[in-house]
Amino acid sequence: MDGTTTQPDYMITYDRDWKDIVEKDGVLDLDQVARELSDYGVVMEQASKVYDELSGGRVSKPNTAAHHVIDFAGGKFAADYADMLCDRAQTCEEEGQAETAQILRELAEEWHEGSVTAYQEGRDRAAAARDTTTPK
């Protein structure tokens, strides 16, 4: 051996990012460590909430790789946009604009495959729920 040792990644990160913050004269400052950990806890809690919202409830662990959250968010946004197009298509249909309604449904399908069927199934479930709760 040549006498050199390789530090683990976490120690390299500590030396680079944290040592000057949590040490005073080479001694660990417990109060400062506690403050940093408290801040870190807040960040992790808030990141979990953001991940959960952006992913449509599929991801909430803050250690999840960002690209997974981004992928889920893209799918959620596409589904939300397609749902808005379906809402507008329904309005157009009710207003006698069948051709425009069809174009909007086709666009919704392009944005998120299966969205028109899912939208209609949701409307059918809502109608069925209203039928069972409406007094006769």
This prediction has a pTM of 0.62
pLDDT at 83 over 70: yes
Q: What's the mean pLDDT in 107-118?
A: 88
Quote the CA–CA distance of 44 and 31 in Å, as a whole number. Answer: 20
Q: What's the mean pLDDT in 48-62?
A: 91
Quote the CA–CA distance of 114 and 120 in Å, as a whole number. Answer: 10
Phi and psi at residue 109, to the nearest 5°: -65, -35
The pLDDT tens digits for 27-39 are: 999 999 999 999 9
